[in-house]
């Protein structure tokens, strides 16, 4: 028969394990929430809510694709919303944020930091600052082209550090020339859907290009005929031989 002390020890150990699992689950949930957010902007948010937070009008949104999915982009320069003095007073190092939307859901934020506000900062300095928000990075100083970077980027970037969980990815990168820092905060699910839709849209654009060109030429010809007819009507009324 086990002693009452041994039974008590097992109960205490079991209680400790249960408490530890609860703490780990809570910590994982908090970290996932943090990885899915940058400041006041949360991945999955609507275009209208992001527009309201930034003060940037929805009319300034760029349409990337309409099919096979609606993809939009909103560019926001925080300094336009405040004076340079106000921006520097609050220590804001953000130069530009590009919000990418997939079917009216924020799928990615691309944050470019002002070189003048990060000059002298090392990779380690940036990792330390971001680790205060997102925890320890999964990998640091891994070279290579970043996933999700657009093909029209004129300067290559290298990955400095990355934070990853099941739903989100946060990637810190640095320009190969100029030493400026960039942060990408992306929803794994929405990001994958956006890349698939982007690839399909390019195929559809190429397939439909001849038809669109023919329609454009037809419309141009019609516009020319309409202009000539309008001029004919006006001149016929006023012409004197």
Count of CB atoms situated within 10 Å of the CB of 179: 14
Going by pLDDT thresholds of 50, 70 and 90, the confidence category of residue 207 is confident
Residue 4 has pLDDT above 90, yes or no: no
Q: Residue 30: its pLDDT value, please? A: 43
pTM of the model: 0.67
Q: What angle do CA 48, 50, 55 make, to 5 degrees?
A: 90
What are 211's two structure tokens? 């038809």
136-193 confidence digits (pLDDT tens): 998 554 444 444 444 444 456 789 999 998 899 999 999 877 679 999 999 999 999 9
Instruction: Indicate the SS3 state at residue 228.
Output: helix
103-126 confidence digits (pLDDT tens): 999 999 999 999 988 999 999 999
């Amino acid at each position: 028969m086990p002693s009452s002390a041994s039974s008590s020890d097992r109960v205490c150990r079991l209680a400790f394990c249960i408490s530890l699992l609860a703490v780990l689950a809570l910590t994982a949930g908090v970290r996932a929430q943090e990885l899915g957010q940058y400041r006041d902007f949360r991945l999955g948010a609507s275009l209208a809510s992001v527009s309201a937070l930034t003060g940037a009008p929805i009319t300034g949104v760029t349409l990337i694709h309409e099919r096979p999915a609606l993809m939009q982009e909103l560019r926001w320069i925080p300094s336009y919303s405040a004076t340079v003095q106000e921006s520097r007073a609050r220590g804001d190092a953000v130069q530009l944020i590009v919000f990418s939307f997939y079917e009216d859901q924020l799928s990615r934020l691309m944050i470019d930091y002002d070189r003048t506000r990060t000059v002298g900062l090392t990779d380690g300095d940036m990792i330390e600052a971001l680790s205060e928000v997102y925890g320890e990075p999964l990998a640091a100083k891994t070279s290579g082209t970043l996933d999700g970077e657009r093909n029209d980027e004129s300067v290559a970037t290298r990955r400095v550090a990355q934070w990853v969980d099941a739903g989100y990815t946060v990637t810190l990168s640095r320009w190969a020339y100029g030493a400026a820092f960039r942060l990408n905060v992306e929803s794994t699910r929405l990001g994958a859907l956006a890349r698939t839709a982007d690839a399909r849209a390019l195929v559809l654009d190429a397939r439909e290009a001849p038809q669109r060109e023919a329609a454009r030429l037809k419309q141009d010809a019609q516009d020319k005929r309409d202009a000539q007819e309008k001029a004919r009507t006006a001149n016929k009324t006023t012409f004197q031989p």
